[in-house]
Amino acid sequence: MAVEKQEYVKAIPPKENLSEWYTAVVLKAELADYAPVRGCMVIRPYGYAIWELMQQELDRRFKETGHKNAYFPLFIPESLLQKEAEHVAGFAPQVAWVTQGGQETLTERLAVRPTSEAIICTMYAKWIQSYRDLPVLLLQWNNVVRWERSTRLFLRTMEFLWHEGHTVHRTAEEADQEARLILRIYQEFIEGWLAIPVLVGKKTDSEKFAGADYTYTLEVLMPDGQALQAGTSHFLGQNFSKAFGIKFLDRDNQEKYPWQTSWAVTTRLIGALIMIHGDDRGLVLPPKVAPYQVVIVPIFYEDQQNVLEKARELAQRLAGRFRVHLDDRPEYTPGWKFNDWEMRGVPVRLEVGPRDVAKGQVVLVPRVGNGKVSVPEAEVEVQVGRMLDEVQAQLFKRAKAFLDSRIFPASTVEEVEEIMTVKKGFAKVLWCGKLVCEETLRDRTGASPRVIPLDESETGSCVVCGQPAGILVYYARAY
């Protein structure tokens, strides 16, 4: 006899209690769990399936643009990490060190990689000799460790998964083109696949990657009005090539230092996905990254055999085009299954019962948007595809409307303070470019400069000092 599993189905906190809601959804949807190591998480199969889909799509795009995968060591000798001073200073508070191996005390400490520029550049110095060796377009899919004080599942953990691209180019122009190419790939992926709108631009010098000439960034807005850095693409200039002795003989027979980039997105994107799209019923997944795009729930009482046969037939048909799961567990009621799959954010539920079998139809239920709709069985592939497209588009439209509603122009420090404490979102301000004004605004409001947009420009007066200003900056409090 089917039973309800009340301890699972009971309500999660409302989303207005964002922190509690977020943790409950991650745990109840079985995306991740807390590890016995402080600040670390176990990514469960359902959560890892989302990461795999993200990884597969990004990897496809990288390979289409000529990038190749490689792998570099987890441990970095301290002497290598020390070679680029600004880079070392930027990461020093977050580095985990290995000082003993087995029973032996190490003669040189080994850093557990917080990022891999040092170890990779050491190898590039061996491999690159001539302009014929350029460009080098490598990336690796791996984990990194950063010793964070405050952590939250997916959004900020001491160990996380990412890819890190590290490219080397003959000229500065080629390196900047690469950094912008990756920025465009990230934007297309985050908006097109994750249905998350982004603000795209540059970081201020105080916020750029340690060791970079400048950093391109993609910023997203969470439901509580705080910003999250969704991805970065760094123009490293010649800083690392000079520090690590990477040189090449150019066409003019002159020895030169090449120009470099590095870039990454991480499992943090799963956290953004959860926060931006989820609702009071749980997770809401964009179809393009949903482990199951369609779940089939057979509804039967006496006529179990015919319904199950039809459900299996439908699953087989749809599996040719979609990621499908048939939930034929007899120990749970249809109502419990509905709650279960809504919590897990499956984009479309397909119901089939005795009456549907008799009428030659199925019932489709989107996770967001309009309610149930009955469709002829003969049209099921077309109708499911259409519904998935509608869910994907609706999620982006909804998130874009929220972002647009939380961007506020500000011309005074007091207005920025009000935006941070009352309106909660991005403050759009003009800045003169002086660090003292940036620090004043940061200290007064608790906000940081998130992005200097690439596609907008204005002139006027600096929000702090009132002097002529031509740099447009979006400020927000951030995770």
What percent of the chain lies above the pLDDT cut of 90?
91
Does any domain span residue 402? no
pLDDT digits (tens, 9 = 90+) for 106-135: 999 999 999 999 999 999 999 999 999 999
* Shared domain check, 245 and 155: yes
CATH number where 471 lies: 3.30.110.30
| 439 within 8 A of 188, measured Cβ to Cβ | no
Number of domains in the chain: 3
Does any domain span residue 286? no
Does any domain span residue 13? no
Q: Which of 328, 360, 389 is the last residue of a domain?
A: 389
pLDDT digits (tens, 9 = 90+) for 300-359: 877 788 999 999 999 999 999 999 999 999 889 999 999 999 999 999 999 999 999 999
Residue 4 clears pLDDT 80, i.e. is over it: no
| 190 within 8 A of 231, measured Cβ to Cβ | yes
What percent of the chain lies above the pLDDT cut of 70?
98
Tokens of 273: 């996905």
Report how far apart, in Å, the C-alpha atoms of 314 and of each of 101, 288, 294, 341, 380 are.
56, 21, 11, 18, 9
* Shared domain check, 380 and 417: no
Does any domain span residue 127? yes
Find the mean pLDDT for residues 46-51: 98
Q: Is the C-alpha dihedral spanning 279, 283, 288, 289 positive or negative?
A: positive
Spatial distance between the Cα atoms of 270 and 332, rounded to a whole number of angstroms: 29
Q: In the prediction, which pLDDT does 5 show?
A: 44
* Shared domain check, 145 and 75: yes
Does any domain span residue 360? yes
Q: Which of 242, 277, 312 is the last residue of a domain?
A: 277
| 424 within 8 A of 406, measured Cβ to Cβ | yes
User: Residue 327: beta bridge partners?
Assistant: none
CA 148 to chain centre: 18
The angle at the Cα of 91, spanning 86 to 96, to the nearest 5 degrees, equals 145
| 352 within 8 A of 362, measured Cβ to Cβ | yes
* Shared domain check, 265 and 312: no
Q: In the prediction, which pLDDT does 390 show?
A: 96
Give the pairing of strands 75-77 and 407-409.
unpaired
Tokens of 48: 């890892």
* Shared domain check, 250 and 110: yes
* Shared domain check, 428 and 359: no
Q: What's the pTM?
A: 0.95
Report how far apart, in Å, the C-alpha atoms of 120 and of each of 128, 206, 261, 317 are.
12, 25, 12, 47
* Shared domain check, 339 and 209: no
Mean pLDDT of the chain: 95
* Shared domain check, 157 and 237: yes
CATH number where 381 lies: 3.40.50.800
Residue 3 clears pLDDT 50, i.e. is over it: no
Q: In the prediction, which pLDDT does 10 show?
A: 59
* Shared domain check, 150 and 69: yes
3-state class (DSSP) for residue 226: coil
pLDDT digits (tens, 9 = 90+) for 189-205: 999 999 999 999 999 99
Find the mean pLDDT for residues 463-472: 97
* Shared domain check, 299 and 262: no
Find the mean pLDDT for residues 11-26: 95
* Shared domain check, 302 and 158: no
Find the mean pLDDT for residues 389-400: 98
For residue 421, the enclosing domain spans 407-476
Does any domain span residue 205? yes
pLDDT digits (tens, 9 = 90+) for 87-109: 878 888 899 999 999 999 999 99
Q: Which of 327, 357, 389 is the last residue of a domain?
A: 389
Q: In the prediction, which pLDDT does 8 show?
A: 47
- How many CA within 13 A on the CB side of residue 17? 9
Three state DSSP letters for 245-306: CCCEECCCCCEECCEEEEEEEECHHHHHHHHHHCECCECCCCHHHCCCCEEEEECCCCCHHH
Q: In the prediction, which pLDDT does 386 show?
A: 97
Does any domain span residue 41? yes
Write the DSSP string, 71-126: ---SEEEHHHHTTSHHHHHHHGGG-EEEEEETTEEEEEEEEEPS--HHHHHHHHHH
* Shared domain check, 414 and 321: no
- How many CA within 13 A on the CB side of residue 34? 8
Does any domain span residue 401? no
Q: In the prediction, which pLDDT does 90 show?
A: 80
